[in-house]
Amino acid sequence: MVAFALVCVLSIGPAFAYASIVYWLDRFEKEPMRLLVGAFAWGAFVATIGALVWGLALQWSLALFVGEDVADVTGTVLIAPLVEESLKGAALALLALLRPHEFDTLLDGLVYGAIVGLGFAATENVLYLFSEYLEGGYDAMLALFGLRVILGGWGHAVYTACIGAGIAAAIRSHHWLPRIAWPALGWLTGIGLHALHNGLATLGALSGAPGAIILMFLTDWLGWALALLAVLWEVRREQRWLREHLRPELEAGVLTAAQYALACSFWGQTRARLRSRTARRFFGACADLAQKRQRLAEAPSAELAAQMAAHRAEVLALAPLMR
C-alpha cells in the first residue's frame, strides 16, 4: 500500500507540475479551468482505459497471424502510438465540435493537447512504476521514475499537442482542404513522434545498445525544444495582437495607459492576475477582444462580430473596477 501511494505521488505530482507550467505559458487568454480539468481527466481515464482495451485486443489479434514476438514489437512501436494518439485526439476533436470558439489560436490547441497528454502520462506512469516495483523493488521503480517522468516527462504532452495544433489550424482555416489536411497532419505527426520514441526504446531494450536510448532522448528533447519554441512564438504573436487591437480602446479612453501596458505585458499580468478574480476576468476579456478582432480582420463574420461585441462590453464593464 505504501509503495502504491508513493507511485501515485511520483506519477501524478509531476504531471500536475508540468500542467501548471503549460497553464502559466498560456499567458494572455487563459483557457477555462473546467475544460482543462476535463481534458486532463479524459487523458487520465478515458484514453488510458481505452488504450489498454484496444491495444491489447489488436495485439492479441495480430499475434494469431505473426506470432507473439513480432506482435509484441509491433504493438509497442505501431499499435500503441496509433491507438493512444487517436484516443487522446478524440478529446480534442470533441472539444472542437462542441466549443470551436475555444480554439482562437494555435496556442489554444497546443495547450489542450498537452493537458490531455499529461493526464494520460500520469495514469500510464502509475501502471509502469508499480509494475516495476513489483518486479524489482524500490530501486528499480525509482530508476524507471528517473527515465520516464524526469527525462521523458513531456513525451505524451508533445505528441498530443501536435494534434491540438492541427485542429486549431483547421478551425482558423477558411477552405475545406486545409480543414481536412491540418488535423490529419497533426495526428500523423503525433503518431510519428510517438512511434519513433517507442521504436528507439524497443531497439535499445532488445539490442542492449545504449546508443539507441541516447538517440531516443536526443530526438525527444529536440522535439520538446521545437514545441517550446512554437509556444513562445504563439505567445509573442498574441502579444502583438493585444498591442494592435487594444489600442482603439486606449485611444477612446476605455483603457488607461497603465491598463493597456499591463494587458500587453508578458510578466506584468502574472502579478496583476494574483490580485483578484476581477483582474483575471478583465485581462481575459482584453485577450478575447484582441483575438476576436484579429479573426474578424482575417475573415469577417456575423458570429465573430457578435462575440467581439460581447467581449468589448465586458472590457467596458470591468475597466472602471481596475482603476
Tell me what pLDDT residue 217 has. Answer: 94
Tell me what pLDDT residue 207 has. Answer: 85
Tell me what pLDDT residue 69 has. Answer: 87
- All three cell numbers of 254: 476605455
CA-based angle 161:98:85, to the nearest 5?
Answer: 30
Q: Per-residue pLDDT averaged across 10-26, rounded?
A: 95
Tell me what pLDDT residue 182 has. Answer: 96
Length reported for the chain? 323
Tell me what pLDDT residue 277 has. Answer: 84
pTM, full prediction? 0.93
In whole angstroms, what is the distance from residue 21 CA to residue 25 CA?
Answer: 6
**Using the 8-state DSSP alphabet, how is residue 102 labeled?**
G
pLDDT in tens, 155-186: 999 999 999 999 999 998 888 899 999 999 99
Q: From its phi and psi, is residue 169 left (phi > 0), alpha (psi between -120 and 50) or beta?
A: alpha
Tell me what pLDDT residue 76 has. Answer: 92
In the predicted model, is pLDDT for residue 274 greater than 80?
no
Tell me what pLDDT residue 268 has. Answer: 79
Tell me what pLDDT residue 298 has. Answer: 85
Strongest mean pLDDT among 127-136, 279-288, 299-308: 127-136
In the predicted model, is pLDDT for residue 49 greater than 90?
yes
Q: CB within 8 A of 132, min separation 6: which ones?
A: 140, 141, 143, 144
In the predicted model, is pLDDT for residue 323 greater than 80?
no
In whole angstroms, what is the distance from residue 210 CA to residue 233 CA?
Answer: 35
Across the chain, mean pLDDT equals 92
Q: Would the CA dihedral through 156, 157, 163, 166 be positive or negative?
A: negative
pLDDT in tens, 20-33: 999 999 888 889 99
Tell me what pLDDT residue 209 has. Answer: 79
pLDDT in tens, 183-219: 999 999 999 999 999 999 999 988 887 889 999 999 9
Contact assessment for residue 101 and residue 80, using Cβ atoms and an 8 Å cutoff: no
Q: Which of 99, 159, 152, 162 is nearest to 129 (CA)?
A: 152
Q: How many CA atoms lie within 13 A of 254 on its CB side?
A: 17
In the predicted model, is pLDDT for residue 54 greater than 80?
yes
- Percentage above 70 pLDDT, the chain: 100
Tell me what pLDDT residue 185 has. Answer: 97
Farthest CA pair distance, the chain: 73
pLDDT in tens, 81-126: 999 999 999 999 999 999 988 888 899 999 999 999 999 999 999 9
Tell me what pLDDT residue 113 has. Answer: 97
In whole angstroms, what is the distance from residue 35 CA to residue 154 CA?
Answer: 20
In whole angstroms, what is the distance from residue 33 CA to residue 101 CA?
Answer: 15
The pair phi, psi for residue 307, each rounded to 5°, is: -65, -40
- All three cell numbers of 175: 477552405
Tell me what pLDDT residue 65 has. Answer: 87
Tell me what pLDDT residue 155 has. Answer: 95
Sequence-ordered alpha helix ranges (H) in 67-105: 68-74, 80-98
**Using the 8-state DSSP alphabet, how is residue 201 labeled?**
H
pLDDT in tens, 228-247: 999 999 999 999 999 999 99
Tell me what pLDDT residue 20 has. Answer: 95
CA distances from 32 to 35, 43, 108, 123, 280 (A): 5, 17, 11, 23, 11
**How many C-beta atoms surround the C-beta of residue 4 within 10 A?**
13
Tell me what pLDDT residue 270 has. Answer: 75
**How many C-beta atoms surround the C-beta of residue 136 within 10 A?**
13
